[in-house]
Structure 1
């Protein structure tokens, strides 16, 4: 069996073990004790993506996952420097925008991006939540949402994986927003989103990592830039 054919099952098996471990921890124990397990899952996505890049896969995906890992150092492990973490995730979405733009024939959705951001600013102002961190978060989220929409029109199996990963990632961020504002939802929903964040997040990053593979090495992607 070729090495590349061994690596994929190993990657998926390790991710499944880590995924089950932190979900069980979060449901039965709770707290921040599962954070190192979660971070290990994201770091493993980066390592696998770097391996795929060495095989001729997408270096852009590897760069985005490296920024994702760095953002999670601040937001997950250190639980500090939130603005820096959001800026790093904005850069991640910038790289994903480039990937989508190359794949879908240059459709950027700039008008929708601008309209959603302005509308979000108006809503923040009405809610008296117009502070710099919230503005930064909304800039990130509106562009992320438009990236996810634009990804739906991208052709190819690898971009379908990528699009599925983005939508799961978006579900995670929706859970994060509700988790940070529990007064907006019933207690049962608040309990779910505390687990739902990572229920969606790790599978999202796994799909994104897989989408960067090169088909000539037994993967999915024709994109190597």
Structure 2
């Protein structure tokens, strides 16, 4: 009977242990990774009890569950001049070569919603888009419509083109969720695949929420 050299055994075991450890680490990271909310953009079909049916921009009818306290925000038209230093705003944007962001839209929060979603993170409005929520520092309207948005541990300079929509957000309720109303909502998906709304932005007077 031949004895297997210990060096050969080590040669086999080390890669196997490394692979097992790596696989376990990947599985743990996947388990710990936060589940990204599902974005739904479209128009209201019906609101029946606690289920909102939305005809999405992709052409699908999607049912979304509402809780009694699901936040609903009304969206109204605003102007860049409504934004002042100290205003709390959000902006979906894309990065430019010079490090600034080019706004796709800007929404102004009411005082009661200061702090909502503060920070800078990826967004789903377009390829490589981001969302920045924070307090306006510098505001230049006469020279390229540029705002500086400050948030905890950072700030972003955002250029707002002339044709970019600017809207106000305000506290709303289910009366905004009428058939034909344009909505943007984000929802979490349950184990059964059902969607539950985290919050809803609904356009007033035919407005389409741009975010």
* TM interval, short-chain normalised: under 0.3
Normalising by structure 1, we get a TM-score of 0.24
Who wins on radius of gyration, i.e. which is larger? 2
Q: Which has the higher strand share?
A: 2
Q: Which has the higher helix share?
A: 1
